[in-house]
Structure 1
């Protein structure tokens, strides 16, 4: 699918080197899910692969890193042309070092981890790392490994769409 979108600068941090864009509703509606979905495509003429995030309002947003902005010759405030399509195979998520260490110390959790899909692994990682406090993350990694060790394949009660979360998952508010 092809569309145009406005590149926006996040309000925080003030010195952010990245931008974001919100997909038009019609483009988002063509995606296979309201939750995270990995796409491949072009921003201008620059190729990329990225995971779109739910915005909590039934659409998606894309974080555009500095390297992609530079490759596309774009900056916050520009309207850019995109062409995207969902990838055929979801990529493996990057496992944070603390989770990698915890899985290595728990063979039963690691066995379940190795047997679940990349999307399920991405959900576990997001749930474990989304707490605001460091102690929350430590507790979630430990309890997540316990749940995986008992054979649980999906992170409990995790709203992948952001539609029912207390706070919106959506993009950072645009800077004024």
Structure 2
């Protein structure tokens, strides 16, 4: 019986093996989950994404047949099959950017709320700081909204002036 030579095993490269059956199933499940996410989106959002026409038609059909259990399941599988032939990196990047855009918008609104609260707490000093940062801001209107908000708060009325101040801040900071 001949002994195995160690040199034969050194040449083995695991990267040359095809993906396992489990790995292929995981990839197909990810594509199908991406398809489900597309089906859950609105038409306007889908129009903004780089989706080929056959896939877009399949997504629209899945949206229409959502109430039929078996047909909907098969349509999702078909969407996954269509996506196997595509390079989904661009689509995933567009979805990520779309998600990130809402995060940026939320952060912007939080910043505006903080500015409004700073003005309501700091008065003329905070208004002066804002006017220095945004020269297009109308100091008189800011002071007027500040005084109205203070008056409404003292009288326990709804904060209409504070809301108006927020809208004005959004207008000048955009």
Alignment TM-score, normalising by the size of structure 2? 0.23
Larger Rg: 2
Which structure's residues are more often helix, by fraction? 2
Which structure's residues are more often strand, by fraction? 1
Give the structure, 1 or 2, with the largest relative contact order (CA under 8 Å, sep 6 or more).
1
